Chains A and B, each alone.
Chain A
Amino acid sequence: MIYKIISKKEFSAFVDALVKSNSSFGPQQVDTNSKGNAVYQFKPVHSVGDIAFDYTATNSSIKHFFLPFREELSRFKFHRDDWKQQINYEAEPIVLIGLRPCDISALNILDDVLLNGHFPSPYYLAKRKNTFIIGIDHLPLPDCFCKSMNHHVVTTGFNLFCSDIGDDYYLSINSSKAFNFLKAFETRDPNEEDNCLLTERRKLIQNSFQTDIDVTGLPSILDIEFDSPVWEKWGNKCLNCGTCAMVCPSCYCYSLTEKFDLDLKGASREKRLYSCNLVDFAVVAGGHNFRPKNGDRLKYRYYHQHRGFAENGNQQICVGCNRCGRACLSGINPKDVINDLRMEKESCLTCVSSSPDKR
């Protein structure tokens, strides 16, 4: 990694040049919500003026650039009683500007899941390789808990990362592509003062977190509390709408559907993002549902998010952006669910009173 300092004015010129010559996406205000707060989304941008650099957090995550809601995996062309299969992996280069560290961490987790293992996904890889990512650090929202998940800093997975140090940006350059682009602009090497400012900035961010979730030993607690009444309690609130999975930056479950073209000359196999909270997620042929209750499905989502599955080395895939908590229509958020689960475990008086650190 190479570190450089660039003035904010020069940085704008750099971003402008990049935006004008590539298909680019950045945060924009699209609406205000009922409380009067701005609603941001990643939208196509055409000049640096379109980008809201000081945005808080987007409602929907950037995973949809890599895992679209609907994606055609293969196409069949029919010819009499025979057919031919066509597969297209290609992706066009895009630039994503203004990603938060948690968003980039989520991409790293998706890399882990989708590019490792026995069957790496070429569809994802093509999109990932053709994306130029500029990350920017930010002060957390009151309900962000990425520090608890240790995803408030990021060291890989981006091309360029900017930290705001007053009049300048402190750049972490992670790719030769970014380095080459920056050659045309005025940058300088960081001096002692810049390093101090960066440390200060990082400390400020670290100390600004208001929400903290204790996740130590959470995987084993999830295992032990598999039949806990907490799941039924929160499950009864759940509406099975699947919103949490749609806005989550690291949820990747999907379903495959196939349909004929209208002219019946072809058919396409399509991948659609799915949610484990939807009722028919675990239905098998014949109609048996392996997870018939709301609580079962909600538990399963927390299991995936905070325990992790064998496919990615039992790593937690939650990054702590709390998009699911903000988007949930019935007010279920990870902080309350996890605290409830932990309380359930620790409210057992005999265990707590005999533990060595309590007198």
Chain B
Amino acid sequence: MPDMRFVIPRQEINREDFTSSVPDFNHRSKLMNTDQCFKCRVTNMVQLTELEKLFQLRIVDPVERAIFRFKPGQFLMLELPGYGDVPISISSSSTNHEFLELCIRKAGHVTSALFDIEKGAHVALRGPFGSSFPMDEMAGHNVLLIAGGLGIAPLRAPLFWINEHRDHFLDVNLLYGAKEPSQLLFTWQFEEWEKISHIRLHTIVEQSDAEWRGKTGMITDLFNNIAIDVQKTYAIVCGPPIMFKFVCGYLDKLGIPMNRMFVSLERRMHCGMGKCCRCMVGSTFTCIDGPVFDYWSVMNLKEAI
């Protein structure tokens, strides 16, 4: 009998092997229109917390709207003319062709200006850029989604994907940690995720308040509650850099192969096209080869986390 731990598994090819190498699948570069923006109208804004807002955008031109596609995990450059552009990960469903949703934290010059605009204002966007979570490769496996703080924003796109293709996946666990209960985002969707799409949701906060009935502690404390089948699990981790170290380190020790853990890195992209080098990690670009990396690549890249 061969020892199953050392058997090399057979790998199947899927369509992602062919498409993931083409980040520009709205073909803007082929039309020499890399700097041409999609004009969007802000159709709705929801204040999530004091510092975070959810923007709902609609591409104005119907033809552009019809051809605009993205994959879960990709980001786009949101531009407020006159103020500048910022990289924002898309947190809406990739099958929703009518509206885009972006969860934005007020952190700098451009995002502060974005917080002052009114409903109906026009913003510009370029993209989508970057790599995506390999949802096809994950099909047929358990999925473990781990989000810390604002990390839930890029995870919402794969969550939507899982909701829409729930029968492709086995057990899905979402581990979500935040500083305080008031900073938990998308709380109105918790029930939908749990009851309709049967995603096991585990939340934890670092500092509880009077109304908090859930757990208190660090996100790694949640691992005690769930059983992880290392042979059949894919993990998606998104959060502050310090979280990657602890969470991925724990999962690695547990025995999940490094190429089945995916992280989404944060850098300040300026061009999104691999030209300005501002988002360089080691010898690769976060905007072209990332932001989604598997943990093996991240471990290999210098100064990634």
Contacts and interface: CB of A to CB of B under 8 A. Distances in A.
Interface of A: 73-74, 76, 78, 81-83, 85, 87, 89, 113-114, 117-122, 223, 226, 252-260, 267, 269, 274, 276, 281-286, 290-291, 296, 300, 303-304, 307-311, 314
Nearest to B240: A288
A307 B268 contact: no
Contacts of A259: 82
A120 B278 contact: no
B280 interface: yes
B284 interface: yes
A253 to B, nearest CB: 4
Interface in B80-114: 81-86, 105, 107-108, 111
Contacts of A267: 81-82
A172 B39 CA distance: 49
Contacts of B280: 282, 300, 304, 309
22 contacts: A81-B121, A82-B122, A85-B36, A113-B275, A118-B274, A119-B273, A119-B275, A254-B275, A255-B276, A256-B276, A259-B82, A267-B82, A269-B35, A269-B84, A282-B278, A284-B266, A285-B268, A286-B107, A290-B303, A304-B277, A304-B280, A309-B280
Contacts of A300: 280
A117 B277 CA distance: 14
A296 B29 contact: no
Contact of A258 (B24, B83, B268): B83
B124 interface: yes
A306 B27 CA distance: 33
A74 B289 CA distance: 26
Interface of B: 22-24, 29, 32-37, 39, 79, 81-86, 105, 107-108, 111, 120-122, 124, 266-268, 270-271, 273-278, 280, 283-285, 288-289, 302-303
A258 B82 contact: yes
A177 B36 CA distance: 33
Contacts of B24: 118-119
B132 to A, nearest CB: 14
Contacts of B124: 76, 83, 85
B81 A78 contact: yes
Contacts of B302: 223, 226, 303
A253 B278 contact: yes
Contacts of A85: 36-37, 39, 81, 124
Given A118-B23, A253-B276, A255-B270, 13 more contacts: A81-B120, A113-B275, A118-B288, A121-B275, A252-B277, A254-B276, A256-B84, A274-B276, A285-B86, A303-B302, A309-B285, A311-B275, A311-B288
Given A118-B29, A276-B277, A285-B86, A83 B122 contact: yes
A257 B271 CA distance: 11
A254 B269 CA distance: 11
A309 B288 contact: no
A167 B288 CA distance: 52
Given A120-B29, A252-B275, A282-B278, A307 B283 contact: yes
A309 B288 CA distance: 12
A90 to B, nearest CB: 12
A89 to B, nearest CB: 7
B89 to A, nearest CB: 12
B284 A81 contact: no
Nearest to A276: B277
Contacts of A74: 35, 37
A284 B274 contact: no
B267 A282 contact: yes
A114 B275 contact: yes
Nearest to B23: A118
B238 to A, nearest CB: 15
Q: 9 tightest CB-CB pairs across the interface, nearest first?
A: A267-B82, A119-B273, A285-B107, A76-B81, A253-B277, A258-B84, A284-B268, A260-B82, A256-B270
A284 B267 contact: yes
B81 A310 contact: no
Given A291-B303, A310-B285, A255 B278 contact: yes
Given A119-B24, A119-B29, A290 B267 contact: yes
B298 to A, nearest CB: 14
Nearest to A296: B303
Contacts of A296: 303
Contacts of B288: 117-118, 310-311
Contacts of B83: 258
B283 A89 contact: no
Given A118-B29, A309-B277, A310-B289, A285 B121 contact: no
Contacts of B284: 309-310
Nearest to B60: A82
Nearest to B81: A76
Nearest to A223: B302
Nearest to B37: A85
Nearest to A257: B84
Contact of A83 (B34, B81, B268, B271): B81
Max chain A C-beta neighbours (<10 A), residue from B85, B283, B284: B283
Contact of B268 (A87, A226, A282): A282
Nearest to B283: A309
B300 to A, nearest CB: 10
A255 B278 CA distance: 8
A281 B39 CA distance: 29
